[in-house]
């Protein structure tokens, strides 16, 4: 009978530890001058993320969301919010980062303590490091607050795991437009580039990662987009190829092709090419002129 209180205490401590989220990664009270936490940290797990992100949580789930910890810090100068998203793996964190920062993305490089992708502004810092996405936002852009933003970023950087950043761009041919790199794990990320059809048209099934980037074309013309998907084997690639061809959006017109490649015209009047070779599916989008079905 005496064991019951001990078991309850252990369960209570475990629940408290879970509720604390990743607060150990945050600056402690008084460690950054006059900035101190405003109340306890907030932790969001599962569908609770909808309570923090209105209308944008689905893309986090698509990439692989585990937990979000949020802490506000205040001083006499204003407030700074620190958000740390824990994703399922480093590529999931990078995928969200690339979507959110757009062409402000930087290459993996040591930058103010972050050996990874970072993006800076007067009022916001964002980085993907290991499996964490870090967003630090200040309410004003004055010089003192911007300096504090940098101090917060450096403090968080030294607390995060110091792993090598993923570089999905290595799978692509060189020459892609800076800031255009994207990774895709499902239909939402794909739709940010192009709408090809309903559902998981590339058959990524939440386990595969496609990589995409833009490439320059003739002066005055929009860049074309290349998407590469590597499947476990040739059979899976052929299956995805057939599924994509049979699942096109009604606004996309099939033009020509054979069992290994085909050409289409999209809803904007631009051309696209899809080909399956070995275990890889290749998509070339936003082409100005119609390519030959066998073109590579």
Within-domain flag for 37: yes
Take residue 73 and report the two structure tokens written for it.
């810090």
- The confidence score (pLDDT) of residue 15 equals 35
The answer to whether residues 119 and 248 belong to one domain is no
- Residue 30 shares a structural domain with residue 150: yes
What's the rounded Cα separation, in Å, for the pair 265 and 271? 4
SS3 for 104?
A: helix
Q: Which of 159, 177, 209 is the last residue of a domain?
A: 159
Q: What three-state secondary structure class fits 143?
A: helix
Contact 216, 179 (CB under 8 A): no
Shared domain for 193 and 234, answered yes or no, is: yes
Cβ–Cβ < 8 Å for 34, 75: yes
**Both 140 and 46 in a single domain?**
yes
Buried b / exposed e over 61-99, threshold 16 CB at 10 Å, is ebbbbebbbbbbbebebeebbbbbbbbeebbbbbbbbbb
Q: Do 38 and 151 share a structural domain? A: yes
pLDDT(174) > 70: yes
Same domain, 63 and 90: yes
Question: Is 173 within a domain?
Answer: yes
pLDDT in tens, 197-252: 999 999 999 899 999 999 998 887 889 999 999 999 999 999 999 999 999 888 89
Residue 27 and residue 59 share a domain: yes
Is residue 1's pLDDT more than 50?
A: no
- In terms of domains, do 32 and 116 share one? yes
pLDDT higher than 60, residue 45 = yes
Domain that holds residue 75: 19-159
Of 140, 137, 115, give the one whose Cα is nearest residue 128. 115
Nearest by Cα to 189 from 167, 206, 165 = 206
How much is the pLDDT for 58?
95
Please say if the pLDDT value at position 19 is more than 50: no
Q: Number of folded domains in the chain?
A: 2
Residue 133 domain-assigned (yes or no): yes
| pLDDT tens digits, one per residue of 275-287 | 999 999 999 999 9
Same domain, 24 and 149: yes
**Does 34 share its domain with 148?**
yes
| Residue 6 is assigned to a structural domain of this protein | no
> Which residue, 125, 159, 193, sits at the end of a domain?
159
The arithmetic mean of pLDDT across residues 123-130, rounded, is 90
Give CA–CA dist 69/24, Å, rounded.
10
Helical H runs in the chain? Answer: 3-19, 58-63, 90-101, 143-159, 187-191, 234-245
Please name the residue that has the structure tokens 């910890």.
Answer: 69
Based on the fold, state whether residues 129 and 101 are members of the same structural domain: yes
Whether 293 maps to a domain, the answer reads no
Q: What is the DSSP string of 14-29?
A: HHHHHHTTTGGGSPPT
pLDDT of residue 29: 82
Tell me the pLDDT band of 270, cut-offs 50, 70 and 90: very high
> Of residues 19 and 80, which shows the higher confidence score?
80
Q: In CATH, what number is assigned to the domain containing residue 49? A: 3.40.1000.70
Residue with the two structure tokens 């950043």 = 165
In eight-state DSSP terms, residue 248 is B
φ/ψ region of 88 (left if φ > 0, alpha if ψ in -120 to 50, else beta) reads alpha
Do 127 and 238 have their domain in common? no
CB atoms < 10 A from the CB of 255, how many? Answer: 15
User: Last residue of some domain: 111, 128, 159?
Assistant: 159
Average pLDDT of 87-91? 95
């Amino acid at each position: 009978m005496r064991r019951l209180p001990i078991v309850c205490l252990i369960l209570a401590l475990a629940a408290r530890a879970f509720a604390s989220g990743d607060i150990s990664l945050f600056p402690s009270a008084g460690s950054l001058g006059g900035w101190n936490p405003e109340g306890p940290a907030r932790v969001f797990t599962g569908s609770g993320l909808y309570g923090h992100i209105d209308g944008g949580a689905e893309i986090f789930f698509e990439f692989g969301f585990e937990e979000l910890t949020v802490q506000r810090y205040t001083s006499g100068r204003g407030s700074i919010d620190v958000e740390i998203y824990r994703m399922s793996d480093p590529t999931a964190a990078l995928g969200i980062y690339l979507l959110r920062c757009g062409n402000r993305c930087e290459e993996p490089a040591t930058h103010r303590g972050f050996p990874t992708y970072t993006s800076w502004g007067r009022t916001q810092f964002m980085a993907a490091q290991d499996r964490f996405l870090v967003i630090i936002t200040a309410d004003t852009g004055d010089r003192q607050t911007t300096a504090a933003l940098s101090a917060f970023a450096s403090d968080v950087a030294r607390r995060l795991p110091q792993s090598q950043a993923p570089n999905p761009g290595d799978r692509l041919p060189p020459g892609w437009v800076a800031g255009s790199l994207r990774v895709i794990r499902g239909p939402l990320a794909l739709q940010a580039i192009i709408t090809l059809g309903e559902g998981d048209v590339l058959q990524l099934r939440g386990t595969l990662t496609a990589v995409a980037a833009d490439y320059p074309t003739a002066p005055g013309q929009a860049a074309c987009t290349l998407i590469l998907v590597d499947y476990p084997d040739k059979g899976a690639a052929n299956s995805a190829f057939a599924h994509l061809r049979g699942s096109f959006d009604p606004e996309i017109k099939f033009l020509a092709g054979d069992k290994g490649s085909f050409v289409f015209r999209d809803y904007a009047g631009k051309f696209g090419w899809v080909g399956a070779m070995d275990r890889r599916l290749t998509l070339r989008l936003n082409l100005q002129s119609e390519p030959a079905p066998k073109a590579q």
